[in-house]
Amino acid sequence: MMPDLGKYADTVISAYVASILLLALLVALSLWRGRRVRAEMAEIEKRMSRNG
């Protein structure tokens, strides 16, 4: 179902691939950072509950 792109096919397909890879990287970094921040906040809450 891909339209005929002629001589631009390689450029268009590589742009799609690059976009998908960058989006996947952003999602992965966001998930990694979210887990890290959640762990830090849990540690802070644990320290706060210990100190009264």
pLDDT tens, per residue, the chain with 52 residues: 777 888 999 999 999 999 999 999 999 999 999 999 999 999 999 989 887 6
Supply the pLDDT for residue 3.
Answer: 78
Confidence at residue 39, expressed as pLDDT on a 0 to 100 scale: 94
For 1-17, b/e burial (b = at least 16 CB within 10 A) is eeeeeeeeeeeeeeeee
What are the residue boundaries of the structural domains of the chain, listed by start?
8-51
Q: Which helix (H) or strand (E) holds 18?
A: helix 9-51
Rounded distance, CA 44 to CA 7, Å? 57
- Taking the C-alpha atoms of residue 29 and residue 18, their distance in angstroms, rounded to an integer, is 16
pTM of the complete model: 0.69
Q: What's residue 52's pLDDT?
A: 62
